[in-house]
Amino acid sequence: MKLDRQFYAAPTLRVARSLLGQVLVRRSPQGDRAGIIVETEAYTQNDPACHASRGKTRRNAAMFGPAGTAYVYFIYGMHYCFNVVTAREGIGEAVLIRALEPITGIPLMEEARGLTDGKLLCSGPARLCQALDITAALDGVSLTGETLFILAGSQPQSIVTASRIGISAGQDLQYRFYLSGNKFVSKK
């Protein structure tokens, strides 16, 4: 069963934790690719590391859309990152999906990534976007549609809360969540 907009409209920190154990699916003509979400990071309205903290721009416009929208952005001139828009429309909050445990379409992921090490296929936001072929073309799409969506999975027993990775502002905020002991997490 697909997660609905009501799931995504909850407070962002709650959504970031609740996404763990759910299944991200990318449907394409080549076939489905999917993985269990094992690591997330929350970005809230008053957070200095949040792309929306300075207001709406062309780049971050999807963040201000309805909950359950994909926000895909380009970083370092070479990588995409995928976020789930949360909270009420117009707020500008999202959850970065940092890592997946691959479960479906693994040969497609291996081809896209040019490697066969399962631990490295989706362990990091740029890696998972490359493995699932998530690009700017998916920025702003509804996660209740047929191209990119999240299925209800299981609720994990043990979740670790930590500082986010790769940011300079808001480093002290404990807005990163991951499954304890999962080998697909990007960094312990």
CATH number of residue 9's parent domain: 3.10.300.10
On whether the CB atoms of residues 112 and 41 are closer than 8 A, the answer is no
185 occurs within a structural domain = no
Token pair 């763990």 is found at 20
pTM over 0.75: yes
CA–CA separation, 135 and 44 (whole Å): 23
Q: Which residues of 34-55 are buried (b: 16+ CB within 10 A; e: fewer)?
A: bbbbbbbbbbbeebebbbbbee
63 occurs within a structural domain = yes
Residue 165: which domain range? 5-179
User: E strands along the chain, which residues?
Assistant: 23-26, 33-43, 70-75, 79-86, 93-104, 148-151, 159-162, 176-179
187 occurs within a structural domain = no
The number of domains in the chain is 1
The pLDDT of residue 133: 97
188 occurs within a structural domain = no
pLDDT digits (tens, 9 = 90+) for 137-180: 999 999 999 999 999 999 888 999 998 888 778 778 889 999 99
CA–CA separation, 164 and 172 (whole Å): 8
